[in-house]
């Protein structure tokens, strides 16, 4: 068993063991009708007409959350409620790495989300192994220039780096929680893979620091990492996400399709899909790509040693 596979198994097991304490629901339909009447939040963000979507009994939401009004800097999220009893389940933020790779394109659409791309640009299928069976799953395209996320101030792109990414993700989280107040005090985990081996602990550290102000408190319980990049590994940038999604995950789930990246690209650039995801009016389209490799060029990397010296990361750095 190679290292990446071991980590994948570790990640899966860690995640499952952290959530298995929650009861399993046997009353799906009555749950859903109760939820239908609740209708208190984020309804304008709800996805109601995603082309090719299989029928499901959970809700999902997409939108931009502006993290800097002045500069017009905005991040795109996709949130899937848990399939059963979302009110009682934990909230998990998922981040892919790169830097420059999309959490929607990899995490949500090829790995652990409920809808996987299958036929070239034409459809999606239900993922029976989706993590939203056990948790409420929030996928974020981070930072700007990844997937649908962008800024209207081009000089923002000069600042791209680990610290910038963590700050914007933190702002995003607070603004998202204003949209979804029932998750405000929910048990929270951050999970990710490859370069998110940096994003995740950095964001965790920021949360812990800011938690000293009770009005900003987020109930962060843990972090989960698969195949994490924890030091400057220039040679591996970008390739790590690629290797992960093309070898490790298919070996676990069975079946391997080398064209998934291009299926995702075709699907997310469809006018009707972009319209259903609230990123376009169906005429002026956004140019979605699964990874932007050029943005690594001027990436400002955080110092791993510094990350490992803080309290939150001591445990993490000791095994990674």
Ligand X SMILES: *[C@@H]1O[C@H](CO)[C@@H](O)[C@H](O)[C@H]1NC(C)=O
Site residues, ligand X (CB under 6 A): 66, 72, 74, 128, 145, 152, 157, 287, 289, 292, 294-295, 297-298
Cα 204 to the chain's mean position, in Å?
15
Residue count of the chain: 320
Find how far residue 154's CA is from the centre of its chain.
24
Minimum distance from CB of 170 to ligand X (Å)?
18
How many CA atoms does the CB half-sphere of 69 hold within 13 Å?
A: 1
The CB-of-297 to ligand X minimum distance in angstroms stands at 4
If phi > 0 it is left, if psi is from -120 to 50 it is alpha, else beta; for residue 159 that is alpha
Q: How far is the CB of 299 from ligand X (least distance, A)?
A: 9
Instruction: Return the number of the residue (105 or 107) whose C-beta is nearest ligand X.
Output: 105
Q: Give me the least distance between CB of 208 and ligand X, in Å please.
A: 29
Q: Which is nearer to ligand X, 282 or 309 (CB)?
A: 282
Q: Which stretches within the chain are classed as H helix?
A: 3-19, 28-38, 162-179, 196-210, 239-243, 249-253, 260-268, 271-276, 304-309, 311-319
Nearest to 45 by CA among 67, 71, 65: 65
Q: Residue 257 CB, nearest distance to ligand X (Å)? A: 17
Listed residue (169, 273, 178, 282) closest to 223, CA to CA? 169
Provide the minimum distance between the beta carbon of 277 and ligand X in the complex, in angstroms, as a whole number.
Answer: 16
| Closest distance to ligand X from the beta carbon of 134 (Å) | 11
When CB distances to ligand X are compared, the closest residue is 72
State which residue, 72 or 282, has the beta carbon closest to ligand X: 72
**CB-based contacts of 220, cutoff 8 Å, min separation 6:** 188, 189, 190, 204, 207, 208, 211
Residue with Cβ nearer ligand X (121 or 222)? 121
Nearer to ligand X, 79 or 268 (CB): 268
Residues forming a β-bridge with 222: 189
Residues 6+ apart with CB under 8 A from 138: 77, 78, 79, 91, 92, 93, 94, 176
Q: Strand, helix or coil at 64?
A: strand
Residue number with CB closer to ligand X (26 or 214) = 26
Please, where are the H alpha helices in 256-319?
260-268, 271-276, 304-309, 311-319
- CB-nearer residue toward ligand X: 76 or 316: 76
């Amino acid at each position: 068993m190679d290292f990446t596979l071991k980590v994948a198994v570790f990640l899966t097991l860690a995640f499952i063991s952290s959530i298995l304490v929650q009861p399993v629901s046997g009353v799906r339909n009555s749950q859903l009708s109760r939820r239908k009447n609740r209708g208190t939040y984020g309804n304008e963000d709800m996805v109601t007409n995603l082309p090719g979507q299989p029928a499901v009994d959970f809700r999902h939401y997409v939108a931009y959350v502006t993290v800097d009004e002045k500069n017009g800097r905005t991040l795109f999220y996709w949130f899937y409620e848990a399939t059963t009893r979302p009110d009682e389940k934990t909230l998990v933020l998922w981040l892919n790495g790169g830097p420059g790779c999309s959490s929607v394109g990899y995490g949500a659409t090829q790995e652990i989300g409920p809808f996987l791309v299958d036929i070239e640009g034409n459809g999606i299928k239900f993922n029976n192994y989706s993590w939203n069976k056990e948790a409420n799953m929030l996928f974020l395209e981070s930072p700007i220039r990844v997937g649908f996320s962008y800024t209207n101030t081009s000089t923002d792109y000069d600042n791209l780096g680990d610290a910038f990414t963590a700050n914007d993700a933190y702002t995003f989280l607070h603004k998202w929680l204003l949209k979804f107040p029932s998750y405000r005090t929910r048990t929270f985990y951050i999970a990710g893979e490859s370069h998110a081996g940096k994003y995740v602990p950095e964001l965790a550290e920021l949360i812990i620091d800011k938690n000293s102000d009770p009005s900003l408190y987020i109930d962060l319980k843990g972090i989960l990492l698969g195949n994490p990049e924890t030091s400057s590994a220039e040679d591996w940038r970008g390739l790590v996400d690629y290797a992960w999604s093309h070898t490790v995950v298919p070996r676990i789930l069975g079946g391997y399709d080398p064209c998934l990246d291009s299926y995702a690209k075709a699907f997310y650039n469809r006018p009707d899909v972009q319209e259903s995801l609230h990123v376009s009016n169906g005429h002026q389209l956004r140019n979605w790509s699964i990874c932007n490799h050029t943005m690594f060029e001027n990436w400002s990397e955080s110092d791993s040693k510094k990350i490992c010296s803080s309290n939150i990361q001591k445990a993490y750095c000791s095994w990674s």
